[in-house]
Structure 1
Amino acid sequence: MIEMLEGKFFNTFIAVMEEKNFSRAADRLGYVQSTVTNHIQLLEQACGQRLFQRLSRGVKPTPAGLKLAAFAYQFIHLGRSLEEAMNELDQPQGNVDIRMQESFFLTRMSTMIQEFSKDHPNIRLKLESGFQQDIVQQVLDHAVDFGIVPQNPNRPDILFVPLLEEKLVFIASHDLVEKVESEGLSALSRETFISFGTSCVYHTKAGRLLQEAGIEGNSALEYPSIEMIKQAVRCGIGFAFIPEIAVKQELEAGQFELLQLSAPIVSTHGLIVRKDRELGLAASLFRARVSGYFSSNC
């Protein structure tokens, strides 16, 4: 099989998988669509398997395609590592792919990223948002160099480097806090719990805490960003469970209040990387900067 494969086939495969569309993959790669189709057909011929299922509005990988994805990402990573190794003879350059929760980037990482990019202008950082489960999977699949997650995945194939402890709090509007104070915690059972959705570990932690407090039957709303969650709480739509630092200014300004449901809850954020992943100079510099930044600032 190996003699039938070319690197450009893997690049095309990953583009189609991520774009979920042959036409968009062609635009991303600068190809005509027929070239993308040809690359996938040759790859399917080499593998002896159908790699994509055609849908009415795009494509999705078959089970064989999902298995191939891990190898394709590894191949691309190997090519980048080789390129970086050659470039290191001049000065640090290359790509570093990182995936983390949006709230962590907004509250903890933006300054560090700015400083790192200024110090290493030839290292390109690609940042993506996600939640615990998909961040871990992306690291396992070699799709990203690093992930930053809110709790240790406790896997033997992943290295977890603790960065900081994050205090999590329940927030609500003044009116809702007054209702809880007058009616008791049971009042929350009739209120809406607002979160990033069930993919977020904060949602899972909050659900357990609410259950332990005897609060059940909440309706739920899912929002994609921390700003939307804060606006919804401010408008009195419901209550939320988020990092305290994300609402520090609003709490100080009296825009929100804390709901005291339990003892302080702390989540340990950390950097994750596959134990068997070979890091080039660019990725090694980023890892050292992240570890140093949080050890000196937190």
Structure 2
Amino acid sequence: MIDSLEGRFILAFIALLEEKSFSRAADRLGYVQSTVTTHIQQLEKISGQKLFHRYPRGIELTEAGKVFSKYAYQYVHFSQSLKESMNELDQPCGTIRIRTQESFFLTRMLPFVQEYTRNSPSVNLRIEQGSHQDILKGVLDYELDFGIVPQNPNRHEILFYPIMEETIVFAASEDVSRKVRNTGVQILNDELFISSGTSCLYHTTAVDVLKDAGIMVKDALELPSLEMIKQYVSCGKGYALVPEIAINNELKIGTLKILPFNSKMSFSHGLIVHKNRELSFTAKSFQSEFLCFFNRYMS
């Protein structure tokens, strides 16, 4: 198979995978659409497998395509690392792909990004938002250089570098908080629980803590962003589990209150990377600066 593979076929595969459209993939690569179609057909012929399902609304990976994607990303990563090594770089350059939870980026990561981009202007940081499982899958599939997760995934394929402890709290409006103070946390059985979705670690953690307190989550609302969750909760519409630092301003002005639960809850955030991923010069530099920054940040 390797004798027949060409890099442009792999790049067409990744562009189609990420853009979900032959026309958008062609625009991204500077090709006409028929060229992308031909490259994918060549890949399918070489692999002997159908790689994409074609639907009127777009494309989806087949099972064979999902397997192929892991190796496609490794190919691109290898090519980038080789180019950097051959050029004997004095300065980091190229692209670093990272995925993190929205709340961590908004509350903790922005100062690092500002410092890093100022010191390494030739590096393109591609930062994506995702749930704990999205992040882990991206690293396992070699799609990402790094992930930032709220707890150690304890996978033998993953290296985990702890960076900080994060206190998390149940937050609600003054009205809901008053009900809890007057009646007890059992009143939450009748309140709406709000989260980023059932795949979010904050959601699953909250459900477990509430269950231990005798509270069953019977009605939950999924919202796509931390800001929407805070705004919705501050209107007296239920309660949510959030990083304490994310609601500091709301606590100061009184639009949100911390609900009284006995046990202190926290996550141990960390940087993850695939154990078998050969880090480029730029990736090694990024990892070192990232860990040093948070070591200073937490000192």
Range into which the TM-score falls when normalised by the shorter chain: over 0.9
| Alpha-carbon separation, structure 2, partners of 1:94 and 1:61 | 27
| Alpha-carbon separation, structure 2, partners of 1:163 and 1:88 | 30
Alpha-carbon contact 2:98-2:144 (below 8 Å) kept: yes
Match of 2:175 in 1: 175
Match of 1:150 in 2: 150
- Number of equivalenced pairs: 298
Matched, 1:184 2:172: no
| Alpha-carbon separation, structure 1, partners of 2:21 and 2:190 | 43
* Cα deviation code 1:161-217 (max 9, x no counterpart): 000000000000000011122222221111110111011101000000111110114
| Alpha-carbon separation, structure 1, partners of 2:20 and 2:194 | 30
What TM-score, normalized by structure 2, do the two folds share?
Answer: 0.97
Match of 2:197 in 1: 197
Shift of 1:296: 1.2
Q: Which range moved further: 146-155 or 14-23?
A: 14-23
Match of 2:48 in 1: 48
Which consecutive unaligned segments of at least 5 residues does structure 2 have? none
Which consecutive unaligned segments of at least 5 residues does structure 1 have? none
- Equivalent position SS for 2:262: coil
- Equivalent position SS for 1:17: helix
Alpha-carbon contact 1:209-1:262 (below 8 Å) kept: no
Which one-letter code corresponds to 1:16 in the other structure?
L
Shift of 1:295: 1.0
| Alpha-carbon separation, structure 1, partners of 2:88 and 2:106 | 31
Shift of 1:248: 1.2
Match of 1:160 in 2: 160
Match of 1:63 in 2: 63
Match of 2:87 in 1: 87
Cα–Cα, structure 1 residues 87 and 114, in superposed 2: closer, same or farther, change >3 Å? farther
Match of 2:118 in 1: 118
Alpha-carbon contact 2:193-2:217 (below 8 Å) kept: no
Match of 1:106 in 2: 106
* Cα deviation code 1:42-99 (max 9, x no counterpart): 0000000001111120110100000000000000000111122133334321111111
| Alpha-carbon separation, structure 1, partners of 2:87 and 2:260 | 54
Match of 1:257 in 2: 257
Which one-letter code corresponds to 1:23 in the other structure?
S
Matched, 1:297 2:284: no
| Alpha-carbon separation, structure 1, partners of 2:39 and 2:193 | 47
Q: Which range moved further: 174-183 or 108-117?
A: 174-183
Which one-letter code corresponds to 1:241 in the other structure?
L
What TM-score, normalized by structure 1, do the two folds share?
Answer: 0.98
Which one-letter code corresponds to 1:109 in the other structure?
M
